[in-house]
């Protein structure tokens, strides 16, 4: 790590400011790139960065499912997913290897799961699980 970057820990060592989530998500793509018959080091970087496109697509799917979970019609849920991707900074962040999209995806999954658990048609099952 460069001398001016990161955070100084209690032991005097420098540590990355970001969490470990984004690098962990990129590990499978990195390992897959190493299995390819090429000596170009940019292949591993490009394939790992392509995980951002996957995260963006998954975020759109989760927004769609969240729309359905709260009672929207399928066309309205599609409109919400499209508005989420094209009407926010999601596309801007999807071209760089930033952790914001992964955080947004995980938060959206949590909200979608909570919406499905709290749906009136599922409340009896929720009550039974609490007993």
Straight-line distance from the first to the last Cα atom of the chain, in angstroms, rounded to the nearest whole number? 51
Domain containing 73 equals 7-130
Query: Please, are residues 54 and 105 in contact by the beta-carbon 8 Å criterion?
Result: no
Using alpha carbons, list the distances in angstroms from residue 115 to 58, 62, 104, 107, 130. 18, 12, 16, 12, 17
Q: Is 90 exceeded by the pLDDT of residue 109?
A: yes
- Number of structural domains (the chain) is 1
* 2 part of a folded domain: no
More confident residue, 130 or 94: 94
Instruction: Please state which of the ranges 2-6, 20-24, 34-38 shows the lowest mean pLDDT.
Output: 2-6
Distance CA 82, CA 77 (A): 9
What local confidence, expressed as pLDDT, does residue 27 receive? Answer: 87
**Inside any domain, residue 56:** yes
- Residue 1 counted as domain residue: no
50 within some domain? yes
* Cα separation, 85 vs 71, whole angstroms: 20
Q: Are 51 and 45 in contact (CB under 8 A)?
A: no
- Residue 40 near residue 85 (C-beta atoms within 8 A): no
pTM for this one?
0.74
Alpha helices in 1-131 (DSSP H): 21-34, 42-49, 51-69, 74-86, 90-94, 100-117, 123-130
């Amino acid at each position: 790590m460069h001398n001016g970057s990161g955070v100084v820990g209690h032991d005097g060592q420098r540590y990355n400011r970001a969490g470990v989530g984004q690098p962990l998500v990129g590990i499978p793509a990195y390992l897959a790139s190493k299995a390819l018959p090429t000596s170009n080091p940019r292949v591993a970087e490009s394939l790992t960065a392509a995980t951002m496109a996957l995260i963006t697509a998954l975020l759109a799917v989760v927004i769609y499912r969240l729309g359905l979970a709260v009672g929207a019609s399928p066309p309205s849920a599609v409109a919400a997913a499209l508005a989420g991707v094209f009407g926010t900074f999601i596309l801007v962040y999807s071209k760089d290897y930033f952790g914001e999209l992964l955080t947004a995806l995980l938060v959206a999954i949590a909200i979608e799961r909570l919406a499905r658990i709290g749906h009136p048609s599922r409340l009896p099952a929720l009550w039974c699980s609490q007993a």
